[in-house]
Chains A and B, each alone.
Chain A
Amino acid sequence: MHSSDAVREGLIALLPRLRRLARALAGQVADADDLVQVVLERALARSAQWRPDAALDKWVFAIARNAWRDELRARGREQHLFAPEEAGGMVADGSEARHAQQMELAQALAMLPPDHREVVALVLVEGLSYDEAAVLLEVPVGTVTSRLARARATLQAHLGNDA
């Protein structure tokens, strides 16, 4: 099997998780799926670079994280905090009470700087270990844990202690 076929079939299986990660990074459904599209295109174009002994999910997640950084740079608002009304649409459906909760969470996530938000997305949403996140982000493990602690403190402050 060509590596491009292996990558393509791996991506099919990975697609739901990739969409979840993208949603956690980008917030908006449309932004997240645009990000997924870029990631799929890049992963397919670079499939020759993937070594079958490396975990495909980490390789693809790293592409996603870098693509999202590129997108933020292109928008020129890496430090920009989304206006509250922009933070909606994170999850497509649900009751009104649930929607209000989602909006509150979306706003809290939008408060996070990108390097905090990506740690939340990788560790808390995708379930990567500290070590895996550190390798993916190319930072020391201590940086991952300190970003995570600060991100949690920000979220907790915004959401209240009952989260």
Chain B
Amino acid sequence: MTAIDDDILQAYVDGALDAVDAARVDAALAQDEALARRVRQLRALDARLRAAFDPVLDEPVPERLSALLQPATAPVVPFTVLEGGRGAGAVRRRAPRRWLLPGAALAASVTLLAAGLWWWQSGGGWVRTQGGRQFAAGALTHALDNELASEPDAHAAVAIGLSFRGKDGQVCRSFTVRTPPARAGLACHTPAGWELPVLGPAVPSEGGELRQAASDLPPAVQAAIDARLGGEVFDAQQERAARAAGWR
């Protein structure tokens, strides 16, 4: 290679040069600011593309797509809509146990691995405070924004319980954080984010099955729900529609 032209710089940025040529470019970059600037531009474009599309990896997969890949033998149990303002624990106990079937469990663990890894990596900052009020942050915001109780995910770090429109018109959702320390709470959608009027330690259900069966709601959360519940709890269709509307 003689002159370092744009094709060579592109191959350098894309990691397609052999070690000798890459070392030559390295040496040239140290001396030639114009070349170095060009490499920075190429890298900035690549970074922008990745920043735009990599988050797709963390998005929940629509059910219509994952359903295509269900083994033919896996029974699909319809979600039962809860009547009245009961706790999320009641929903969880009735939730289908299809994940425990051997074939389905394997498939599910594979499909959820990517999402699970992301949860663990981004764990930590679940909550932020602003003006003395408590808001969801990070992975909790993501779960409240995206997860549907009608499409329960036994491996997700956050389990969504009930969703409903409160007396003041806000959409509220109860949730349980399964990763230790397990927490349960209520989140209500405001222009500033998901406000958390109540958040407390989760109570493990019988047998301590936090991971699989989620937990019962602490009395404080149950009371907060009862205080706000104006009408019906959302069914699967209403929950989906509310998500499409941005929980407004």
Contact = CB atoms under 8 A, between A and B. Distances in A.
Interface stretch (A61-69, A79-87, A120-128): A120-128
A3 to B, nearest CB: 15
B7 A124 contact: no
Given A12-B107, A120-B49, A149 B44 contact: no
B49 A105 contact: yes
Contact of A16 (B46, B69, B114): B114
A49 interface: no
A145 B64 contact: no
Interface stretch (B8-16, B91-99, B148-156, B213-221): B8-16
Given A124-B46, A152-B10, A159-B45, A40 B56 contact: no
A145 B107 contact: no
A36 B65 contact: yes
B111 A15 contact: yes
Classify chain B's interface size.
35 or more
Nearest to A10: B110
A105 B52 contact: yes
Interface residues of A, number: 42
Contacts of B46: 124
Contacts of B62: 33
B106 A125 contact: no
Contacts of B145: 93
- The 7 residue pairs across chains A and B that have the minimum distance between CB atoms: A163-B45, A163-B44, A20-B56, A12-B111, A16-B57, A13-B110, A40-B68
Given A19-B57, A37-B64, A41-B68, 20 more contacts: A13-B110, A16-B115, A20-B53, A23-B56, A24-B53, A33-B65, A37-B65, A37-B68, A40-B69, A123-B14, A129-B16, A130-B11, A130-B16, A148-B10, A148-B14, A152-B42, A155-B45, A161-B41, A163-B44, A163-B47
